């Protein structure tokens, strides 16, 4: 439904997007994920028509919209700051687009009421000024304002970043429910990987204006296509040359870059004489620190002269103490290896 | 004694601080000039709005900003179509003119010292020391915000001047008194010193309030005394702003018109009154123009100097979370007593003329003349006269109409200009901005004289009309002098509107004008109203432009007040002038309170 074709955007002195290729399907919840400054907002704003691409094309529904003005692209947008009009009431904010299109008053009323109910705004909130609303309510107004024009596509630029942690999780769920209900194709921008993994049908990971990987949350997490993605999504230990050499016997290619996630490293007592299971390698290690996380505990180890993270059920972790000599067992099949050795 | 100039904002873009007030925060927090964007000029020329703004600004600038100054230069150096230095020769052969130049420099240099002494003292006792009734003190010193220019000069003259109340009262005890005791250099310096501390109260106070309190506490923990902290931390942090206000004070002295005119007497005339005298006769206009040009040059050079120095100075707190300073206790009892006595004595000097103006507006003029007032002399005649007689109310109405129209015109006219300049930041918008700032670097007198000399014949750019001698020219002058201040603040207001807000309107289908009208203007409306109100009050008591441009049938307030100071014959109008004074103070005070009172002055009044 949406296609980015070799989309390149450069500003005065540097390139924000260097030839982005993306295909987003009808009704999909699609997320652009990446660290600050990687070009997510730029990609979204190009789609909205606020940024003129230097080269490349943009198609929506098979139509080339690269030079089509924003208001004729059939997209709605929720801005990071919400960009609510401070001089208008909630109702006026939501109705703004309709009034610009000279929709009759009673129809405006009806559609505003409808969309307000959809996003969970109570009727008595509609007459208030937007400054009187809480952050979560403001966000609902912003979504309602974008949806009332019934766009084909909804763009959201870090809509949850201004909220506190608890509200963020709650609104995340509502957002997902709303998107399913309305069935609207959604492009979502965030730098919060947890949010991206929880919400998205598919995710595109960007780094420095380049696409690193596109895939479902599971693919992105379990089969990261590059060292960058592996490092950026979730936690992972970058294995040192000594660690790789020590694990070479179990099947790790000592000549290539290697990463392992903490949940694929377990800790057993140093005097455990059981031979290593096939497909895993043992390293003697010392416990450096333990960070309790509820059901699991993140144990920081020193193994083969370098750091190694292990995620351990908290019950097991209770048996080890800082300074203990232990064995770190690495699931070699779950080690991600990239390129030539660093 | 309105200073025509305000400190240059940190980014180098100028601000104007006419007469009374201006948001000090705008000076201190001014953002750096935004970077130019490539292709912005092209985009501006492609937009209908951009082209309209461009044509409008180019026409206005050509007709009213560039042509008058060019005419002035031509009339001075190329009279009769040939290059000539005759204006110079005539200036050099006029002893009066040369003396006025020397007097202006002397006045400016003296004020640079005296105003700094008084101004720094005021800033310290209102912002640094833990004084008793600090708020009352502040209000007393702040009277100059609503009491300045020709009104203040007239007030001092009515109190201490030849026919003044104090002079008359003294003469009863001391018949040999020289009735002109309050006249000449000393009188002008005294009046202007107390009248021009406004810049200190605005800008230096803001700089002091911006010093990080935790830095002071840290110094105190390390054992520094109050004096050491003042000398080693506070004063160095204030130095760039001190320099800026010193330059402003110097400029005010250089271009002073009303105080020397009313109180200078025969012996002490400065350049500005001299320009006025020479401009009255067409045979000496070229000398007037030359003097005005010299004044303008000095202004430009000094402002450029200030701009350079300010750019090098750092006077912002480096701390991420600067804690505002709190008043410091006195360390010795003696210090406290001495400072309190001095502060309240100074307070009395500031407040006395204001109280007199209020009181005398209810007193028969003859009683004031005689120097003794009894209960029988109390009267409401002046008020009744002003409020019921069309003649007496006339000047007030004329000034209200002129100021109202001009301040509304300049705000509305610059609305789209400011928008265009913030939207398309290319070389063309920079050029327009520089041109629109011409009035900022020129004394009002020079602008007014240029207008008079340019439009005394038909000019194509204004449809072949002669404007000199018509009622419109003064209005145009008022618009011109208010352009830089208005543009600066409107631009800041536009810049403060988040881009996302406009994007949101656009993606919802609103066009440019709809977005401006329905989204942007409501957001910046408070700024527009505040700027219009400040413009209005500062034009209300204008004298400098009016004296060159007023229409005899529509005399503005400044002219009427000045006339009431001219000798014994006009003494009857003294009472009316006091009524005007009170009305002006009420209007200006009200506007300032509405604009800053509840919020902006907090930093200055805290405590
Ligand atoms: N209008 C602009 N002019 C010049 N450079 C810009 C402009 N907009 C963005 N950039 C630059 O382009 C790069 C990508 O910016 P973008 O806003 O797309 O990043 P982002 O991924 O959204 O980051 P964040 O998570 O911080 O919002 C940044 O380096 C930014 O400085
Ligand atoms: Mg962004």
State the DSSP string of B410-457.
HHHHHHHHHHHHHH--SHHHHHHHHHHTHHHHS-HHHHHHHHHHHTTS
Contact by Cβ (8 Å): B502, B523:
no
Strands lying side by side in the sheet with A296-303: A265-269, A325-331, A280-292, A296-303, A306-313
Tokens 């989309």 belong to which residue? Answer: A7
Cα separation, B538 vs B587, in Å, equals: 11
Contacts of A149 in chain B (CB under 8 A): 508-509
pLDDT band at A196 (very low <50, low <70, confident <90, very high): very high
Which of A13, A44, A51, A77 is the mutation pick for testing B, counting most B CBs within 10 A?
A77
| Residue A19, phi-psi category: left (phi > 0), alpha (psi -120 to 50), beta (remainder) | left
B49 to chain A nearest CA, in Å? 18
Contacts of A115 in chain B (CB under 8 A): none
B530 to chain A nearest CA, in Å? 17
Cα separation, B554 vs B397, in Å, equals: 9
Q: Ligand nearest A16 Cα, by number?
A: 1
Would you call B510 an interface residue with chain A, using a CB distance cutoff of 8 Å? yes
Q: Is residue B383 part of a domain?
A: no
Contacts of B503 in chain A (CB under 8 A): 48, 50, 70, 77, 79, 83
Tokens 């096939």 belong to which residue? Answer: A278
| Residue B498, phi-psi category: left (phi > 0), alpha (psi -120 to 50), beta (remainder) | beta
* Of residues B238, B220, B159, the one with CA closest to residue B194: B159
Q: Ligand nearest A15 Cα, by number?
A: 1
Helix (H) or strand (E) holding A43: helix A40-48
> How high is the pLDDT of residue A275?
60
Atom of ligand 1 nearest to the CA of B37: 3
Contact by Cβ (8 Å): A274, A266:
no
> How high is the pLDDT of residue A342?
46
Cα separation, A167 vs A159, in Å, equals: 12
Which of B496, B509, B514 is the mutation pick for testing A, counting most A CBs within 10 A?
B509
Q: Searching chain B, which residue's CA lies closest to the CA of residue A74?
A: B507
CATH code linked to domain A2-232: 3.40.50.300
What's the full length of chain A, in residues?
A: 342
Domains of chain A: which residue ranges?
2-232, 237-338
> If you ran DSSP here, which 8-state letter would residue A260 be given?
E
Which residue positions in chain B have pLDDT lower than 70? 1-38, 310-325, 567-571, 597-607
Contact by Cβ (8 Å): B13, B488:
yes
Cα separation, B264 vs B277, in Å, equals: 14
> Ligand 1 center to residue A228 CA distance, Å?
20
Tokens 């109008």 belong to which residue? Answer: B573
Structure tokens at B190: 């005294």
Residue B539 domain boundaries: 13-77+100-321+335-374+393-561+579-602
| Nearest residue by C-alpha to atom 2 in ligand 1 | A11
How many CA atoms does the CB half-sphere of B491 hold within 13 Å? 27
Whole-Å CA distances, B437 to B13, B418, B573, B575: 9, 13, 39, 40
CATH code linked to domain A237-338: 2.40.50.100
Would you call B337 an interface residue with chain A, using a CB distance cutoff of 8 Å? no
Which residues are paired to A63 by β-bridges? A60
The pLDDT tens digits for A11-52 are 877 899 999 999 999 999 999 999 999 999 999 999 999 888
Q: Torsion over CA of B440, B441, B443 and B447, rounded to 10 degrees?
A: -70
Q: Are strands A237-238 and A257-260 parallel, antiparallel or unpaired?
A: antiparallel
Would you call A338 an interface residue with chain B, using a CB distance cutoff of 8 Å? no
Structure tokens at B42: 């092209």
Contacts of A84 in chain B (CB under 8 A): 504
The yes-or-no verdict on residue A62 having pLDDT over 60 is yes
Could you give the ipTM of this predicted complex? 0.80
Across the range A194-202, mean pLDDT stands at: 93
> How high is the pLDDT of residue B310?
63
Q: Is residue B195 part of a domain?
A: yes
The yes-or-no verdict on residue A72 having pLDDT over 80 is yes
B515 to chain A nearest CA, in Å? 10
Cα separation, A221 vs A235, in Å, equals: 10
Number of domains observed in the structure of chain B: 1
Which residues are paired to A33 by β-bridges? A190, A205
User: What 3-state class would DSSP assign to A21?
Assistant: strand
Contacts of B519 in chain A (CB under 8 A): 85, 87
> Ligand 1 center to residue A231 CA distance, Å?
22
Give pTM, 2 decimals. 0.80
Structure tokens at A65: 């919209």
Cα separation, A28 vs B448, in Å, equals: 68
pLDDT band at A278 (very low <50, low <70, confident <90, very high): low
| % helix, strand, coil for chain B, step of 5 | 75, 0, 25
Contacts of B507 in chain A (CB under 8 A): 48-50, 70-71, 75-77
Contact by Cβ (8 Å): B104, B483:
no
Ligand 1 shell residues, CB under 6 Å? A 11, 16, 34, 36-42, 191
| Nearest residue by C-alpha to atom 31 in ligand 1 | A37
Q: In the A/B pair of chains, how many CB contacts fall below 8 A?
A: 63
Beta carbons of A48 and B523 less than 8 Å apart: no
Contact by Cβ (8 Å): A274, A280:
no
> How high is the pLDDT of residue A279?
64
User: What 3-state class would DSSP assign to A291?
Assistant: strand
Q: Is residue B540 part of a domain?
A: yes
**Candidate from B505, B508, B514 with C-beta closest to A149:** B508
> Ligand 1 center to residue A135 CA distance, Å?
24
> If you ran DSSP here, which 8-state letter would residue B378 be given?
B
Which of A38, A45, A205 to probe ligand 1 with, by most ligand atoms within 8 A of CB? A38
Q: Is residue B95 part of a domain?
A: no
B 17-56 → A contacts, CB under 8 A? 37-38
> Ligand 2 center to residue B258 CA distance, Å?
57
Contact by Cβ (8 Å): B162, B572:
no
B606 to chain A nearest CA, in Å? 28
Here the CATH number for the domain that contains residue B161 is 1.10.3720.10
Beta carbons of A100 and B37 less than 8 Å apart: no
> How high is the pLDDT of residue A145?
93
Q: Which residues contact B57 (CB under 8 A, 6 or more apart)?
A: B417, B432, B435, B436
Cα separation, A335 vs A206, in Å, equals: 23
> If you ran DSSP here, which 8-state letter would residue B496 be given?
H
Across the range A321-332, mean pLDDT stands at: 90
Would you call A83 an interface residue with chain B, using a CB distance cutoff of 8 Å? yes
Cα separation, B557 vs B563, in Å, equals: 10
Cα radius of gyration (chain B): 25
Exposed / middle / buried, residue B178 (Cβ in 10 Å: 0-12, 13-18, 19+): exposed
Structure tokens at A315: 């019950």
Helix (H) or strand (E) holding A282: strand A280-292
Exposed / middle / buried, residue A136 (Cβ in 10 Å: 0-12, 13-18, 19+): middle
Tokens 């000095």 belong to which residue? Answer: B298
> Ligand 2 center to residue A224 CA distance, Å?
23
> How high is the pLDDT of residue B163?
79
Looking at every residue in chain A, the average pLDDT score rounds to 90
> How high is the pLDDT of residue B382?
84
Q: Where are the alpha helices (H) located in B361-426, listed in sequence order?
A: 365-370, 381-388, 390-423
pLDDT band at A307 (very low <50, low <70, confident <90, very high): very high
Tokens 């601080």 belong to which residue? Answer: B17
């Amino acid at each position: 439904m949406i296609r980015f074709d070799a989309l390149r955007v450069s500003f005065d002195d540097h390139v924000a997007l260097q030839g982005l290729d993306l295909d987003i399907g009808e009704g999909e919840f699609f997320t652009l994920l990446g660290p600050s400054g990687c070009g997510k907002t730029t990609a979204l704003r190009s789609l909205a028509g606020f940024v003129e691409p230097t080269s490349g094309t943009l198609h929506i529904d098979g139509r080339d919209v690269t030079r089509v003005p924003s208001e004729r692209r059939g997209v709605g947008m929720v801005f990071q700051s919400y960009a609510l009009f401070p001089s208008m009431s909630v109702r006026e904010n939501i109705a703004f687009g309709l009034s610009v299109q000279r929709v009759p008053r009673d129809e405006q009323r009806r559609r505003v009421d409808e969309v307000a109910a959809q996003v969970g705004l109570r009727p008595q909130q509609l007459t208030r000024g937007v400054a009187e609303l809480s952050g979560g309510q403001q966000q609902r107004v912003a979504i309602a304002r974008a949806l009332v024009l019934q766009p084909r596509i909804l763009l959201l630029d870090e809509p949850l970043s201004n909220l506190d942690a608890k509200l963020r999780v709650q609104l995340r769920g509502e957002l997902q429910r709303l998107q399913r209900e309305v069935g609207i194709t959604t492009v979502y921008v965030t730098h919060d990987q947890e949010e991206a993994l929880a919400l998205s049908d598919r995710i595109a990971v960007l780094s420095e204006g380049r696409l690193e990987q596109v895939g479902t949350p599971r693919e992105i997490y379990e089969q990261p296509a590059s060292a960058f993605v592996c490092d950026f999504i979730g936690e992972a230990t970058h294995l040192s040359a000594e660690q790789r050499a020590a694990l070479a016997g179990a099947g790790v290619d000592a000549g290539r870059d290697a990463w392992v996630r903490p949940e694929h490293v377990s800790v057993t007592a140093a005097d455990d004489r059981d031979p290593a299971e096939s497909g895993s390698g043992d390293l003697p290690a010392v416990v450096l620190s333990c960070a309790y996380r509820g059901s699991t505990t993140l144990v920081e180890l020193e193994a083969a002269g370098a750091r190694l993270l292990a995620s351990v059920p908290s019950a097991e972790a209770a048996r080890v103490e800082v300074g203990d000599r232990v064995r770190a067992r690495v699931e070699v099949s779950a080690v991600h290896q990239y390129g030539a050795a660093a | 004694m309105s200073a025509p100039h305000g400190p240059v904002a940190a980014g180098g873009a100028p601000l104007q601080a006419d007469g009374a007030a201006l948001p000090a925060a705008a000076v201190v927090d001014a953002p750096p000039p935004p970077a130019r964007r490539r292709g912005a000029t092209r985009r501006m020329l492609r937009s209908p709005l951009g082209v309209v703004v461009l044509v409008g600004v180019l026409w206005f600038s050509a007709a009213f900003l560039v042509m008058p100054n060019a005419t002035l230069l031509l009339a001075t150096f190329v009279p009769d179509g040939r290059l000539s230095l005759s204006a110079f020769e005539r200036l050099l052969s006029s002893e009066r003119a040369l003396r006025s130049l020397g007097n202006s420099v002397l006045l400016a240099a003296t004020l640079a010292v005296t105003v700094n002494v008084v101004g720094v003292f005021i800033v310290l006792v209102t912002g640094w020391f833990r004084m008793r009734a600090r708020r009352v003190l502040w209000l007393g010193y702040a009277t100059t915000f609503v009491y300045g220019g020709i009104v203040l000069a007239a007030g001092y003259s009515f109190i201490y001047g030849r026919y003044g109340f104090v002079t008359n009262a003294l003469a009863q005890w001391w018949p040999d008194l020289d009735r002109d005791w309050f006249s000449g250099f000393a009188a002008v310096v005294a009046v202007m010193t107390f009248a021009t501390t406004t810049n200190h109260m605005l800008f230096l106070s803001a700089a002091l309030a911006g010093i990080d309190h935790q830095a002071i506490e840290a110094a105190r923990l390390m054992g520094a005394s109050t004096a050491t902290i003042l000398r080693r931390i506070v004063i160095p942090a204030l130095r760039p702003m001190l320099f800026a206000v010193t330059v402003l004070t110097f400029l005010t002295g250089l271009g002073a018109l009303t105080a020397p005119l009313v109180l200078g007497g025969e012996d002490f005339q400065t350049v500005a009154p001299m320009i006025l005298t020479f401009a009255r006769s067409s045979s000496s206009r070229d000398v007037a123009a030359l003097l005005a040009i010299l004044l303008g040059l000095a202004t430009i050079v000094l402002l450029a100097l200030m701009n350079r120095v300010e750019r090098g100075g750092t006077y912002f707190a480096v701390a991420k979370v600067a804690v505002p300073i709190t008043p410091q206790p006195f360390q010795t009892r003696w210090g406290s007593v001495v400072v309190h006595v001095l502060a309240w004595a100074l307070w009395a000097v500031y407040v006395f003329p204001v109280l007199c103006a209020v009181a005398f507006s209810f007193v028969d003029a003859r009683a004031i003349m005689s120097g003794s007032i009894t209960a029988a002399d109390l009267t409401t005649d002046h008020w009744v006269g002003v409020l019921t007689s069309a003649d007496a109310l006339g000047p007030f109405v004329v000034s209200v109409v002129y100021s109202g129209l001009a301040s509304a015109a300049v705000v509305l006219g610059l609305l789209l200009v400011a928008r265009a300049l913030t939207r398309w930041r290319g070389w063309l918008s920079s050029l327009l901005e520089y041109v629109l700032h011409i009035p900022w670097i020129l004394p009002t007198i020079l602008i007014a004289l240029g207008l008079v000399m340019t439009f005394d014949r038909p000019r194509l750019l204004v449809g072949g009309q002669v404007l000199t001698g018509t009622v419109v020219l003064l209005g145009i002058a008022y618009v011109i002098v208010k352009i830089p201040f208005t543009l600066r603040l409107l631009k800041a207001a536009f810049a403060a509107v988040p881009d996302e807000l406009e994007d949101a309107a656009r993606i919802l289908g609103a066009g440019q004008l709809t977005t401006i009208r329905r989204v942007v203007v409501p957001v910046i409306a408070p700024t527009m109203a505040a700027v219009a109100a400040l413009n209005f009050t500062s034009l209300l008591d204008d004298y400098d432009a009016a004296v060159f441009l007023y229409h005899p049938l529509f005399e503005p307030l400044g002219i009427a007040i000045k006339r009431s100071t001219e000798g014994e014959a006009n003494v009857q109008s003294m009472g009316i002038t006091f009524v005007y004074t009170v009305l002006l103070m009420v209007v200006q005070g009200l506007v300032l309170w509405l604009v800053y009172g509840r919020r902006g002055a907090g930093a200055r009044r805290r405590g």
